C-alpha cells in the first residue's frame, strides 16, 4: 500500500559554506523507517541556501566547493543591480539557482539508498543565514503490511 | 488515501529573461486544492527554457539573473560547434542544464508550501521561444476523506 | 489506484562525456508500461557522474557540453585542495553539483512524456568512471484497472 508522509524540520544555523547533514536528516525524519521502497524529498524554503549531494568523505571537497562557487558567483560584480541586501546576497541567489532547492533520494528498506560516497550537503550562501527551514516529504510502499 | 493527478499546461510566450509564474501555475492547476499534503511536480518539455525557484520580490534579482547567465553561458563562444540554430541556441541548452527542467514543491493544505520569498521562475533562454508546454503532476494525501 | 515501483540498474561503462541513455532506460525499466500517469525518478549513486535532460538530435550539442563544462569546472585550478584522486576528480564533483544527481520525468500512458527534442544524458565526468549504478523509482496511477 502506498503512503505519503510530510513534516517540517528546522536546521541549526550553519556558517557560510558546505555542510553534511545526512545524519541530521535521517535522525529527524520520523517516517523513513516505515517505507519498504520509496522516495524522500527534501525542500529548503529559502532562496539563499541550497541542497545538493556530493562526496561525504574528504572535507577538502567541501572547502573546494566554497572556493569554486565564490569564484563563479562572485560578490560585487560590476553589473549587479540587486545590491541593497549586502554583497553576499545576489551571489547567494545565483548559487541557489545553480545548486537547487530540493533533493529526491530513493529509500529502500527504510533507509536512504545513497551511494557509498554520497552525502547530503546544506549549502549556506549567506554570512549570517541563521536557521533554515526544510519540508520533508516521503512516499512509497509501507513496510506495515497491515496498514 | 494517496492520489495522483496529471495535466498539461501551455504557458503564454515570454520574452527572453526570467519571469515569475507562481500565480499562473496555481490558478491553472486544477488538483492542487484537493491535496492535504503532497508534492507538485512541474516539468518543461523543452531544452532551451528552464524552471527554477528564486526570490519573488525585487525585480532586480531577475535582471541580474539575466546578466549573470548571459555571461557564464555566452553567445558565440569560439569553441561552440552547434551554431546552426542561432547564436542564442547553444547558450540556451547550457543554461537549461545549469538551471534544470523540473521542480518539485511540497503542497500543504491545498497550497504550495513555498518559503515567503520563493517564487517559481520561467527562464526563457531563446530570443523567440514562443509558448512553452508544461506537464503538471501532483500526488499525496487527498483532502476528500471519502475518496 | 496509486502504485510505487523501484529497481536498480547498472549502466555499461561510458567514456568521459555526454551520452544519451533514454532508450537504455526505457528498455530496462520493467514497470514503465504499467503506469497510466506517473513519474519516473532516476537517481545516480555517484558523485562524479550526473544525469541531465537536453537535446537528443544533433551530436554537436553533446560535444559543446563537454567543451563548456571542462572550461567552467577546469582541471588543476590553483585553489583546489582535493587533488589526491586525480586531476579529473574535483572537476567531476563540481560538474556533478551543477548538473545534478537525479531526474524526475512525467509518464503518460506507459511512456516517458518528454518533449520531442528531449533526451536523457548520462554525464560521465571521470576519465575512467566504469559502470554506474542507478536507482529507478516510479509511481502513479496503474493501468491495471483490477489492481
ipTM: 0.97
Q: What does the pLDDT read at residue A42?
A: 98
Q: Establish, for the pair of chains A and B, how many residue pairs have beta carbons separated by less than 8 Å.
A: 93
Hey, is the C-beta of B139 within 8 angstroms of any chain A C-beta?
Answer: yes
Per CATH, which fold does C2-142 belong to? Jelly Rolls (2.60.120)
Q: Could you read off the pLDDT of B43-77 as tens digits, one per residue?
A: 999 999 999 999 999 999 999 999 999 999 999 99
Q: Which of C38, C67, C72 is closest, CB to CB, to B79?
A: C67
Q: Of C107, C39, C117, give the one whose Cα is nearest residue B46.
A: C117
**DSSP assigned state of B103:** E
Mean pLDDT confidence for A116-131: 98
Grid coordinates representing A8? 517540517
Residue contact C68–B73, C-beta within 8 A: yes
Q: Could you read off the pLDDT of B102-117 as tens digits, one per residue?
A: 999 999 999 999 999 9
Distance from CA of C6 to the nearest CA of A (A): 7
Mean pLDDT confidence for A119-137: 98
Distance from CA of B141 to the nearest CA of C (A): 11
When the pLDDT of each residue in chain A is averaged and rounded to a whole number, the result is 97
Number of residues that make up chain C? 147
Residue contact C43–A99, C-beta within 8 A: no
Mean pLDDT confidence for B9-25: 98
pTM greater than 0.90 (yes/no): yes
Q: What does the pLDDT read at residue A145?
A: 64
Tell me the percentage of chain A whose pLDDT exceeds 90.
96
Separation CA A56–CA A116 (nearest Å)? 9
Contact B125, B52 (CB under 8 A): no
Grid coordinates representing A139? 512516499
Judge whether residue A146 has pLDDT over 80. no
In chain A, positions 66-95, which contact chain B (CB-CB < 8 Å)?
A: 72-73, 77, 79-82, 90, 93-94
Residue contact A105–C104, C-beta within 8 A: no
pLDDT tens, N- to C-terminus, chain C (147 residues): 999 999 999 999 999 999 999 999 999 999 999 999 999 999 999 999 999 999 999 999 999 999 999 999 999 999 999 999 999 999 999 999 999 999 999 999 999 999 999 999 999 999 999 999 999 999 999 997 654
- What distances in angstroms separate CA B80 from CA A64, B24, B89, C61, one per listed residue? 28, 36, 11, 9
* pLDDT band per the 50, 70, 90 thresholds, residue B144: confident
Sequence spans of domains, chain A: 2-142
Residue with cell 522516495: A39
Hey, is the C-beta of B100 within 8 angstroms of any chain C C-beta?
Answer: yes
Amino acid at each position: 500500500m502506498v503512503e505519503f508522509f510530510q513534516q517540517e524540520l528546522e536546521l541549526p544555523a550553519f556558517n557560510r559554506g558546505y555542510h553534511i547533514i545526512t545524519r541530521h536528516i535521517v535522525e529527524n525524519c520520523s517516517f523513513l523507517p516505515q517505507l519498504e521502497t520509496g522516495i524522500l524529498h527534501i525542500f529548503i524554503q529559502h532562496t539563499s541556501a541550497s541542497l545538493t549531494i556530493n562526496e561525504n568523505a574528504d572535507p577538502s571537497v567541501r572547502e573546494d566547493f566554497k572556493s569554486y562557487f565564490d569564484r563563479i558567483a562572485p560578490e560585487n560584480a560590476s553589473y549587479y543591480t540587486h545590491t541593497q541586501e549586502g554583497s553576499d546576497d545576489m551571489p547567494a541567489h545565483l548559487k541557489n539557482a545553480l545548486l537547487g532547492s530540493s533533493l529526491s533520494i530513493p529509500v529502500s528498506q527504510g533507509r536512504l539508498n545513497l551511494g557509498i560516497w554520497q552525502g547530503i550537503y546544506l549549502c549556506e550562501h549567506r554570512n549570517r543565514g541563521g536557521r533554515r527551514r526544510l519540508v520533508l516529504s516521503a512516499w512509497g510502499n509501507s513496510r506495515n503490511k497491515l496498514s
